[in-house]
Amino acid sequence: MIGVWKAYSSLYLYAVAVGMLVAFGLPLLVAPAWLFGLLGWDIPQPDHMIVILGRSLGGIICVLGGFAIKAARTPGTQPFFFALMLWIFLAMIPIHIYGAITGIQPVAETVEIAVWVFLFVVTLGFYPTGSLGGGTVS
């Protein structure tokens, strides 16, 4: 299961980069209140804190998207970047489960639990070395 599609690791990273940038990074960077509203969050007024936190997160996601492209072009860095993505995806699962259990998030965020689990499993499939912890970075 781990690394079953490792021959396509670079293509997967390009797809992840585009997905991160289009779905979250750029919308959060440019119009965070709009994206949060689209996801069902109530936006308090004034929305300054929402905007700055959203833009900060959008900036981080854009940087990750950029480094996904860099990792796609640099196979030696791919095990590190895949491990980073796996830890991010894994961290998102309990965060969203907590939000669902406590009822503090909209339905779209609860649905994201399945998305994070899916991304975690698929990323394992594209893991570039065939085993976690394997590979070398030079």
Query: What pLDDT digit, counting tens, does each position of 100-136 carry?
Result: 999 999 999 999 999 999 999 999 999 998 666 655 4
User: How many structural domains does the chain have?
Assistant: 1
Q: Is 94 exposed, middle or buried (0-12, 13-18, 19+ CB in 10 A)?
A: exposed
Domain of 71, in residue numbers: 6-126
Query: In the chain, what percentage of residues exceed pLDDT 70?
Result: 93
Residue 77 is predicted with a pLDDT of 94
Cβ atoms within 10 A of the Cβ of 3, count? Answer: 19
Helix/strand/coil (H/E/C) assignment for every residue in 106-121: CHHHHHHHHHHHHHHH
**100 in a domain, yes or no?**
yes
Low-confidence winner among 11-15, 50-54, 87-91 (lowest mean pLDDT): 50-54
Q: Is residue 87 part of a domain?
A: yes
Query: Does 1 fall in a domain?
Result: no
